Chains A and B, each alone.
Chain A
Amino acid sequence: MLAAFPHAMPLEGLIGGLMIGVAAALMLLGLGRIAGVSGLAARATGIADSGAPRGIAIAFVIGLPLGALIISAMTGGIETRFPPSVIPLIIGGLLVGYGTRLGSGCTSGHGVCGMSRLSPRSLIATAIFMASGFVTVALMRAGGFL
């Protein structure tokens, strides 16, 4: 079946996903918290006043690039194909930052943690941001931006 999708990395995706799930499980069972990256980033930078203790948020946010760096070193480099201009990164960043605060979460908090808890709020949030992503990329493709 996957021969139809030559770009897919199902095994790497599954293994990496298991690592993400174990990390989120460690936050839940170890510290009693949701591994929501947007919330932890807001807390680490002081943009949010409530949420995880500052030290926990800062440690998690520092750990993210460290873990990526270790995998990059172990595998001889991670492919990151960024948009050729910074404009989509800036527009995307602004929307993601504002949207995740307004909607109380992102792919990790609502997607991984909330959906696995069968939280209706998170299931709906995930369905909406997925649909919004599909529509956005379809419009970008139609407009010749992709």
Chain B
Amino acid sequence: MRQILVALFAGALFGAGLAFSGMADPARVQGFLDLFGHWDPTLAFVMGGAMIPMAFAWIVQRRLDKPFADAHFSLPGTTLIDRKLTIGAVLFGAGWGIGGLCPGPGLADLAINPMPALAFVGALLAGMIVHRVTS
């Protein structure tokens, strides 16, 4: 139960941060990616802001035997830089530019502007299912 509450609170804080920073607005994200138009640097501040607590968190993590609400750390150990990573990132970046949305803002927007967000999230899950059945 404690784990569920921590995850719910973390998700809500993450969603609140996305909404407050303007990242729930697809046009603003496209503005950051639009180097040759009216470039909007806001996303760089969001990324920079998010890096600060996370950099500290990684330092603390190295000193802990286990997380405070769970039995052990379950962190990705993959270091492989391969075709899958590269092609996946290219396709993700293209979709991000076309719709102005990545998974976090898409889900957050379900509560703010449900109809268009649902079209994106539905297609997002369909794309994930296509990957699953073809690999």
Is the beta-carbon distance between B61 and A28 smaller than 8 angstroms?
yes
Chain B contact residues: over half helix, strand or loop, or mixed?
Answer: helix
CA distance A124 to B96 in the complex (A): 17
CB-CB under 8 A for A60 and B88, given A12-B21, A82-B116, A97-B124 = no
**A22 cross-chain contacts in B, Cβ below 8 A:** 13, 17, 53
**A96 cross-chain contacts in B, Cβ below 8 A:** 92, 95-96, 99, 101-103, 106, 124, 127
Closest to B99 in A: A92
Interface size class of A (residues with CB under 8 A): 35 or more
Is the beta-carbon distance between A124 and B85 smaller than 8 angstroms?
yes
CA distance A72 to B25 in the complex (A): 12
Within A26-66, the residues touching B (CB, 8 Å) are: 26-35, 37-38, 41-42, 45, 47-48, 52-53, 55-57, 59-66
Asked if A76 is at the interface (CB within 8 A of a chain B CB), the reply is no
Contact residue among A37, A52, A56, A82 (Cβ-Cβ distance under 8 Å from B113): A82
